[in-house]
Structure 1
Amino acid sequence: MGLADGEVLVDGRLIYTASDLKVGLFQDTSAF
C-alpha cells in the first residue's frame, strides 16, 4: 500500500486536492 497527497489541475487551475490517499500497489494485474 502506498500513501500520497494529490492535486487535480484543469487549464493550470487547481480544482481538487486530497491528502493521505491510500493506493494498492500490484506487480501482476492479469487477475483483474
Structure 2
Amino acid sequence: KPATLETGKKINVPLFIKEGETIKIDTRTGAYMGRA
C-alpha cells in the first residue's frame, strides 16, 4: 500500500504496516526493508 515518509517521499509498504510505525528503507532504491 502507498505510504508517505516524514520527508514527503512516497513509497509502497506491506499491508500490515500501520501509521506511525518505524520502518527501514533502502536509501539507494527507496524500497521498504523491514520494521525498525
Question: TM-score under structure 1 normalisation?
Answer: 0.23
Larger radius of gyration: 1
Q: Which has the higher contact order (CA 8 A, sep 6+)?
A: 1
Question: TM-score under structure 2 normalisation?
Answer: 0.22
